[in-house]
């Protein structure tokens, strides 16, 4: 069995992380309290969960806390999961809610979250991933942090994490058409912000 | 597929189908504005993929496993602790009232006793007075017995201490609160008895509080098992 912290599969493969039946089987195993099922869940989704949380929360510590919270919420709430959406969709929805809860808690403590600055003030633990860096990444991250919440979510889920619009629609409880429209608006806004920043090549 | 023009750009970018995109690319070969727009759009998509981050978190999975195990223990204990906690909530409230009444009674009685006894000399040589007061010898014996009793409670307390430091259930947390309150009441009572060693009521009150502490500690040890 691979170690849970092995790098995730490339996004294109991750698209097909689990078929519908595998998804349901995993949900059932988690429901029955099978510890191995949770490990499988972590192997399949951990890297993407961490990446989304990092892009929403801005630092790795908070991102990992959010992922841990997701697993606890899955454990506590698996009994109420009725399979109306796919299991993985449900998990990512929990993650998004957890991230916003964490941000709210931070704001209440008057610790204004900073936009994403990958690697700032953290131990350099990064390992070479399947995705190569891009010269525009830092400025793009700054611009993404300025998007409206729904635009940021759809952009991150579609363009960064490679989810399909049908999956995003399930996670955000919107229609596929809305997901496409929001993405378009997000990209137009990013184009504008990037042009303004004068850094786009 | 019909030929695309500039007016199709937004539609294609909003909901790009591969065939439409190819048609737009053909149009862009002769249209600088659409070519620039497509290039920027594609660059944005490529740069976005670099925002996917991966890093090693060797501690994260063990941490999650630990949290899940703890959650599982709490879930297993929940039905039992709920009912016990419900029963305990009432008992605990009654107990708090009882301790408050007891402490008040101890303070009142000892105060009144001191007030009434103050004019009298502390030691009388008459046989009648000697009968009324405990002899120094008897008091000494009582104190020795108390010391032994306290020592036995301390041993019990040492057994219960690890469970009380990190109470795993709401019931244990309640026991801890109760013991703290008892210790405070015992200290108060002891301070009174130090000033008035022969007071039988104070001795009785102190004894009953020690007994309550002993019972509580026994329950903690049993609960922990």
pLDDT, tens digit (0-9, with 9 covering 90-100), for A77-93? 988 887 777 898 999 99
Contact A140, B47 (CB under 8 A): yes
Contact A34, A51 (CB under 8 A): no
How many Cα neighbours within 13 Å face the side chain of A149? 7
The neighbour count for residue A180, using CB atoms within 10 Å, is 18
Full-model pTM = 0.58
By the CB < 8 Å criterion, does A154 face chain B?
no
Contact B47/A136, CB-based, under 8 Å?
Answer: yes
Q: Which of A71, A128, A135 to mutate to test the interface with B (most CBs of B within 10 A)?
A: A71
Q: A-chain residues within 8 Å CB-CB of B74?
A: none
Q: Measure B78 CA to nearest chain A CA, in Å.
A: 13
The answer on pLDDT for B58 being more than 80 is: yes
Q: B-chain residues within 8 Å CB-CB of A137?
A: 47, 50-51
The answer on pLDDT for A183 being more than 90 is: yes
pLDDT, tens digit (0-9, with 9 covering 90-100), for B92-104? 667 677 778 788 8
The answer on pLDDT for A62 being more than 60 is: yes
Find tokens 């009882």 and name the residue.
Answer: B98
Please, where are the H alpha helices in chain A? 11-14, 20-31, 35-57, 60-77, 87-108, 137-144, 149-155, 165-172, 176-197
Length of chain A, in residues: 201
The pLDDT of residue B92: 63
SS3 call for B134: coil
Q: Which of A53, A62, A75, A192 to mutate to test the interface with B (most CBs of B within 10 A)?
A: A75
The answer on pLDDT for B205 being more than 70 is: yes
SS3 call for A159: helix
Q: B-chain residues within 8 Å CB-CB of A192?
A: none
């Amino acid at each position: 069995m691979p170690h849970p912290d092995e790098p995730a599969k490339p996004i294109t493969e991750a698209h097909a992380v689990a078929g519908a039946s595998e998804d349901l089987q995993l949900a059932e195993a988690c429901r029955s309290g099978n510890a191995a099922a949770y490990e499988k869940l972590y192997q399949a989704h951990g890297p993407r969960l961490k990446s989304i949380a990092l892009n929403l929360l801005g630092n790795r510590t908070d991102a990992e806390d959010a992922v841990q919270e997701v697993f606890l919420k899955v454990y506590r709430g698996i009994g109420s999961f009725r399979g109306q959406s796919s299991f993985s969709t449900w998990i990512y929805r929990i993650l998004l809610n957890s991230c916003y809860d964490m941000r709210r808690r931070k704001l209440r403590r008057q610790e204004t979250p900073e936009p994403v600055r990958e690697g700032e003030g953290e131990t350099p633990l990064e390992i070479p991933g399947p995705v190569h860096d891009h010269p525009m990444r830092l400025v793009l991250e700054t611009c993404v942090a300025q998007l409206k919440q729904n635009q940021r979510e759809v952009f991150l889920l579609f363009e960064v994490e490679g989810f399909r619009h049908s999956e995003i629609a399930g996670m955000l409880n919107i229609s596929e058409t809305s997901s496409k429209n929001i993405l378009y608006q997000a990209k137009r806004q990013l184009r504008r912000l990037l042009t303004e920043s004068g850094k786009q090549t | 597929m019909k030929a695309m023009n500039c007016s199709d750009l937004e539609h294609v970018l909003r909901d790009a189908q591969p065939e439409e995109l190819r048609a737009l690319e053909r149009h862009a070969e002769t249209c600088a504005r659409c070519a620039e727009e497509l290039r920027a759009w594609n660059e944005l998509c490529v740069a976005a993929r670099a925002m996917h981050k991966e890093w090693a978190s060797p501690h994260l999975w063990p941490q999650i496993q630990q949290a899940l195990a703890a959650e599982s223990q709490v879930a297993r204990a929940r039905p039992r602790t709920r009912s016990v906690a419900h029963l305990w909530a009432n008992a605990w409230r009654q107990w708090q009232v009882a301790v408050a009444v007891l402490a008040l009674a101890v303070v009142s009685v000892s105060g009144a006793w001191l007030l009434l006894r103050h004019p009298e000399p502390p030691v009388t040589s008459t046989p009648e007075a000697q009968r009324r007061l405990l002899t120094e010898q008897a008091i000494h014996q009582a104190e020795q017995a108390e010391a032994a009793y306290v020592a036995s409670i301390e041993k019990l307390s040492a057994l219960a201490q690890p469970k009380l430091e990190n109470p795993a259930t709401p019931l244990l947390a309640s026991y801890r609160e109760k013991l703290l309150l008892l210790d405070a009441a015992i200290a108060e009572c002891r301070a009174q008895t130090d000033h008035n060693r022969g007071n039988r009521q104070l001795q009785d009150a102190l004894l009953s509080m020690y007994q309550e502490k002993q019972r509580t500690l026994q329950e903690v040890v049993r609960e922990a098992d």
